[in-house]
Amino acid sequence: MLHKYGTPAYRLEAHLMTLADGLGLRSSFIISPTSMTFVLWTEGHEDEYTHAARVEPGDLDMGSLSRTDDVVDLVLGGELSVEEAQLRLDEIEFMPNPYGRLATGFSFALSGCAFAMLMNTSWNNALWSGLLGIVVYLFILWSERSKGIANMLEPLVAMMSAMGACAIAAYLDPGINIRLAVLSSIIVLIPGLALTIGLQELSARHLVSGTAKIMDAVMMLFKLYFGAFVGVEMGQLMFGEVEFVQSELLPPWTAWLAIFTLGCSLIIAFRTRRRHIVWSLLIGFIAYGSSHYAALSFDLGIGAFLGAFMVGIYGNLFSRLANAPAVIVTMQGLIVLVPGSKTFISLNSYIAGEGFASAETAGQQSLIILMSLVAGLIFANSALPPKKSL
């Protein structure tokens, strides 16, 4: 279940070994995004129990992750038996979304608006990005009922979002920045966090899991780019090309409003428990503020490094004070850092057709920023070691 809720492989293996030790078992675990192998034995006995399972990558669910961690603590403390813990885990697995589908759809709109605002666009672009984000969510709901839609979800939503943006430009608002609106509306699907976690796992020498996550993220980027490219071409063919009319840009203070908006959307999307909401909102401001001002004083790489360092320190403090997994808040902080430090400028350059030279420079910047995020987390864990393995 911890694997299903988005726990990185190296943290999950360490956590499972801690649990096995608490139950008086010797253990070895190998975790990858699509498989799990367990080997269990007792001291002084040669008989081993080996179990291998094929698993599907899950979605980030910080509420269920927190509840599962509580069950583990009760088992280690002797307050729950293994049988009772299994019943609790079954309850957690089938627990409905505490926020509901309507609020989740609203979170897609908020995330699209927030990303557009962080990209220093105009109010009308932020509004259209949010509305297109709702379109993306409707297709995600459809994919839950249709296997065919689920198989082609990423390119399909990017294509429909692009065609919708072209229609808006032709009939409603020539001031919409089509490519930026498309990028903002599908931002929830762009695997910036997966790339960061994959690099972090590689740095922890979890080579199989890290490589698999990076390649999966790259393939998802390709699918999203292909859908966006085809959608823009088809939209312009159907509705005609419209001359872009530049609208008044947002004032600088709206970036902080965007961070608050993005934080609220992530709380809903991650199903964060109510007792962790304030912690989750605060880390967004800490992450963006530290990275933004460090980038102004130095460069984007140093800004990303300092932002990730502050996220890691804050997450480990949260783990000690709230007695909960640090990953609950660090995941949210990292997501704020990725668009805040313009990691997606490479994809934006390709979609905007700015040429290979511009895109190559943007790609180098993105790689430096991603590596800076990983380095910042490593230094943070050395400066203030986490209380929990998760």
Number of residues written out for the chain: 390
- The pTM of this model reads 0.85
- State the pLDDT at residue 65: 85
- State the pLDDT at residue 84: 86
Q: Cβ atoms within 10 A of the Cβ of 197, count? A: 28
- State the pLDDT at residue 136: 93
Alpha helix stretches (DSSP H) within the chain: 9-22, 62-76, 82-93, 100-118, 123-145, 147-151, 153-171, 178-185, 192-203, 207-239, 254-269, 277-297, 300-322, 327-340, 345-352, 356-383
For residues 164-186, give the mean pLDDT. 88
Name the least confident of 110-119, 311-320, 330-339.
330-339
Q: Is the pLDDT of residue 314 over 90?
A: yes
Mean pLDDT, all residues of the chain:
83
For residues 112-139, give the mean pLDDT. 90
Distance of alpha carbon 181 from alpha carbon 161, whole angstroms = 8
Distance of alpha carbon 27 from alpha carbon 17, whole angstroms = 6
For residues 45-61, give the mean pLDDT. 78
Q: Which two tokens stand for residue 236?
A: 């312009």
Q: Is the pLDDT of residue 346 over 70?
A: no
Name the least confident of 83-92, 181-190, 191-200.
191-200
Distance of alpha carbon 380 from alpha carbon 362, whole angstroms = 27
Q: Is the pLDDT of residue 326 over 50?
A: yes
For residues 82-110, give the mean pLDDT. 87
- State the pLDDT at residue 362: 58
For residues 307-314, give the mean pLDDT. 92
Q: Is the pLDDT of residue 96 over 60?
A: yes
pLDDT band at 360 (very low <50, low <70, confident <90, very high): low
Q: Is the pLDDT of residue 338 over 50?
A: yes
180 close to 125: Cβ distance less than 8 angstroms: yes
For residues 150-165, give the mean pLDDT. 91
- Measured between alpha carbons, how far is residue 13 from residues 7, 17, 266 in Å? 10, 6, 26
Name the least confident of 18-22, 144-148, 162-166.
18-22
Percent of the chain with pLDDT over 90: 23
- State the pLDDT at residue 313: 94
Residue-wise pLDDT tens digits, 226-274: 888 899 889 989 888 888 778 888 888 898 999 999 999 999 988 999 9
Name the least confident of 42-51, 266-275, 305-314, 371-380.
42-51
pLDDT band at 167 (very low <50, low <70, confident <90, very high): very high
Q: Which two tokens stand for residue 315?
A: 């997450």
pLDDT band at 311 (very low <50, low <70, confident <90, very high): very high
For residues 343-370, give the mean pLDDT. 56
